[in-house]
Amino acid sequence: MSQYIDDDRDMPRFRVNRRVMTDPEVFALEKEKIFNKTWLYLGHETELKKPNDFKTRTVGGRPLIFARDKLGQVKVWVNSCPHRGAMLCREDSGNARFMTCAYHGWSFSTSGDLVSMPGDAAYGPNFERPQLAAPAKVDSYRGFVFVTFDPEIVDLKTYLAGAAEYLDLVSDMSEVGMEVLEGTHHYSVRANWKLLVENSFDGYHAMSTHQRYFEMIVAARGAIDAGSSLLNSRSINLGNGHAVTVGGSGSGDIFGRPLSDEAKAEREARYERLRAKYGEGWVERLNGIRNMVIFPNLVIIDLVMGVVIRKIDPVSPDYMEVTAWELAPPEEGAELKRQRLDNFLTFWGPGGLASPDDVEMLESAQSAYASVNELEWSDISRGMHASVPVQSDEYQMRTFWRRWNEIVTGEVLPPEDYDELPDYWTAPRLELEADSTAVRS
């Protein structure tokens, strides 16, 4: 048994030592070995609609500028003036041809070039004018932009492994390309970041933690058959620590508030056109639900009338900051968009019907970890004895933890073995289109 993971295949039992949620030394190892060495999500290309649009983000503990230059190319810069280090851009977002440091007035274009500095004659004719710094690599897949600070890392498509197929599923919901809607959720949680990773694709907690939401659903539409939906579901290892839980076609309707007849008709008409383009099997999968974690801290949730992108930023062993956006088909009509935005606010929002419940549970767990000397291990064994891992099992979490353990400790734990997925869960996309052009700084 390793220091942090107890992976007992004979019992079977899988446990995680709670010190990984509290120990500053573990947190330092995570920063060094995970957040300095993996691909990390930055943003979606559609957030930058016009030349010279920019957003400021924190990724892997670094302040970054996510921008589209005057030629329309996506660029990513470290948000620090190369003169004396002050933060160059102090706005969350905007549109500007130049970014000027408030400290000494050095000014840079969105292409990263130094365009002016007060009293530049004082530097002499041969002074080498510095440019903005960039992460080691920047790349994108289907509009999702990632950065890494490791120049030796594998390319993004290789890193995504099986998660790329699920980004395809989400992206194919639109006939013209999905876009991130205006409006962002920002909130913080006084708990370890890995607790929200677990929670984000944990189907076991739904009925107990979100009881008030399900009471509302039952009142709105009558009894729901959640048991059948869970049986018709899977947890899938996507490689490289990524994992997803998926539900069958139409399962999202079971757990969501009823759509209007107008919204149903519009959605079905679009799905019919997508079937003609990509095939029945692909669109049946597309019409299901999915909660995916792309290791280490990106969550894509396609559930309850909406696609949520969630970025989890660790700040300390017991504190994280969370940012979330809504991804939607831009061609969607007014009624579907209204219901989608309402759901993004009232279900997924920091004051909604789901997120506050989750935050309360995670903070409760973190507080209880003060007793780690008396109760050292958390159990994540659910479903280890089963022949098929379903949404309410914990296989997806064990997938994350085995990769986490491999990176942090160097110990490789063998994967769990399950039969190959049935055809329904692997139906291919019949028309393969070229991936979106990679962006690079």
Across 311-320, 365-374, 420-429, least confident range = 420-429
pLDDT value, residue 57: 97
| 405-414 contacts, C-beta under 8 A, 24 or more apart | 405/2, 405/4, 405/5, 407/33, 407/34, 407/37, 407/38, 408/4, 408/26, 408/29, 408/30, 408/33, 408/34, 409/2, 409/3, 409/4, 411/2, 411/5, 413/2, 413/5, 413/7
CATH class of 5-22+161-426: alpha beta
- pLDDT (tens digit per residue) in 196-228: 999 999 988 888 888 777 777 777 666 666 555
- pLDDT (tens digit per residue) in 281-290: 999 999 999 9
Q: What mean pLDDT do residues 224-251 have?
A: 84
pLDDT value, residue 335: 86
Query: Is residue 340 predicted with pLDDT exceeding 80?
Result: yes
Confidence grade of residue 53 (pLDDT, cut at 50, 70, 90):
very high
Whole-model pTM: value is 0.94
pLDDT value, residue 232: 81
Segment of 117-121, 151-155, 415-419 carrying the highest mean pLDDT:
151-155
Which of the two residues, 297 and 257, has the higher pLDDT score?
297
| 372-377 contacts, C-beta under 8 A, 24 or more apart | 372/18, 372/19, 372/22, 375/18, 376/17, 376/18, 376/19, 377/6, 377/15, 377/16, 377/17, 377/18
Query: Is residue 189 predicted with pLDDT exceeding 90?
Result: yes
pLDDT value, residue 435: 46
- pLDDT (tens digit per residue) in 108-137: 999 999 999 999 999 988 999 999 999 999
pLDDT value, residue 105: 96
pLDDT value, residue 259: 79
Boundaries of every domain in the chain: 5-22+161-426, 40-141
Query: Is residue 391 predicted with pLDDT exceeding 50?
Result: yes
Q: What mean pLDDT do residues 168-196 have?
A: 96
Fold of 40-141: Rieske Iron-sulfur Protein (2.102.10)
Confidence grade of residue 229 (pLDDT, cut at 50, 70, 90):
low
pLDDT value, residue 29: 98
pLDDT value, residue 438: 43
Query: Is residue 347 predicted with pLDDT exceeding 70?
Result: yes
